[in-house]
Structure 1
Amino acid sequence: MEAWVAWLLVAALLGLAELLTLTLALGLLAVAALAAGATGALGFPPVAQAAVFALGSVAGIVIVRPIARRHIRQPPLLRSGTAALVGREAYTLTEVTRAGGRARIGGEEWTARPYDPDLVIPAGSTTDVLAIDGATALLYPVAGPAVPD
C-alpha cells in the first residue's frame, strides 16, 4: 500500500473518532493527515509527509482549536424561543395575580403571573416581561397603579 493511501485511512479514522468525541482535536489531526496524504500523492518522500503532518497538527491544535473553542462558547447573537420574549412589552387581558391571569405578548396570548407575587396587575395594563417560567410569563407593570394584595 502506498503511503498516501495510509494517510487517507488515518484521516478517515480520525474524522470518525472526532464525530464520536466532539473534541475539536481529532478533526484537526484528520485535516493534517489529509494534507500529508496529498503531499504523498504529489510524490514527496515519507519524511516530507511526516513533516507536513507534524506542522499541520501543531498549527491546528495551537492556533485553530483555541479560536474555534472561543467561537463555540459565545452566546447566540439572536435570541430565540421564550428567551426572545424577555424584555418585551406585554398587555394584560385579565387581572394578573399570584393565581394567574392572561396577557398578550407580541400577538400571542400567554398565561401570566406578576414577578412580585404581592402585586395585582389590573386588566389593560402595560407591563414588561421579566422572565418566562414554563408557559407562564412573569410580568412587572411599566407604570401606573399596581394594587398590593
Structure 2
Amino acid sequence: MFATINAVHAYSDRMPEALIWLVFAVGLAGGEALTGDMSLLMLAGGALAAAASSWLLGWPVWADGVVFLVVSVLLIAVVRPALRRRLVAPAGLQTGVQALEGKSALVIDRVAGDRGQVKLDGQLWTARPFNDGDIYEPGERVTVVHIDGATAVVWKDT
C-alpha cells in the first residue's frame, strides 16, 4: 500500500513540470493559428513531447529541454516541408493572355504601324510594334510585350 502511495506521490511531483510544458504547447499552437507558418506548430509538438517525457519518465528539466529541442528540430526539418508542400497551393499559373506575355513569336506578315501578323503558340495573331517606328519583316523573331485586345504588341530584342 505504501508503494502505491509513493508511486502516486512521485507522479504528482512531476506533474507541475509536465503541466508547464503542456501549457507552453497549447500557447504555441494558439500562436500558430495567428501566423499560419507551421513553425510554431512544430515547436508545439516539441513542447508536447517534452511534457510527455516529463510526466512519463520523470527526467530533470534540462533533459525535458533537450527532448523539446531535438523533437522541434526534427519536426521543423522533416515534417514542416512535407506539410507545407501538401497544404500550401503553388503559385498560380498564368492563364489566358497573361500566359502569352513574354513569349517569342514569329513574324508572318510585315508588322508595322497598326498591321501585321505573328504566329504565337501555333496561332495567328494580329500584331503591332511596341515602338511606333519599328518595322519587323516576315521570318523575324519578336517578343510579345503584352496583349491589347486581340492584338499582340511585339518588340524585337536587339
Amino acid across the alignment from 2:123: E
Counterpart secondary structure, 1:126: coil
Task: Give the structure-1-normalised TM-score.
Answer: 0.51
**Structure 1 residue 105 and structure 2 residue 120: aligned?**
yes
**Structure 1 residue 140 and structure 2 residue 147: aligned?**
no
The corresponding residue for 1:88 is: 104
Point out where structure 1 has 5 or more consecutive residues left out of the alignment.
69-78, 143-149
Structure number with greater Rg is 2
Alignment of 1:1-149 (within 5 A): 2-19=19-36, 27-42=38-53, 43=56, 44=59, 48-49=63-64, 82=98, 86=102, 88-92=104-108, 94-122=109-137, 125-135=138-148, 136-140=152-156
Q: Per-residue displacement from partner, 1:97-139 (whole Å, max 9, x unpaired)?
A: 23243311121233422244213335xx123233422342414
Moved over 4 A (4+): 44-57, 79-85
Q: Distance in 1 between matches of 2:140 and 2:101?
A: 12
Q: Distance in 2 between matches of 1:133 and 1:85?
A: 5
Change (3 A) 1:118 1:87: same
Q: Percent identity over the alignment?
A: 19
Task: Give the structure-2-normalised TM-score.
Answer: 0.49
CA contact (8 A) 2:22 2:47 kept: no
Q: Per-residue displacement from partner, 1:62-119 (whole Å, max 9, x unpaired)?
A: xx8xxx9xxxxxxxxxx96656763624232x44223243311121233422244213
Q: Kindly report the root-mean-square deviation, in angstroms, between the aligned alpha carbons of the 2 structures.
A: 4.1
Greater helix content? 2
Counterpart secondary structure, 2:156: strand
Aligned length: 117
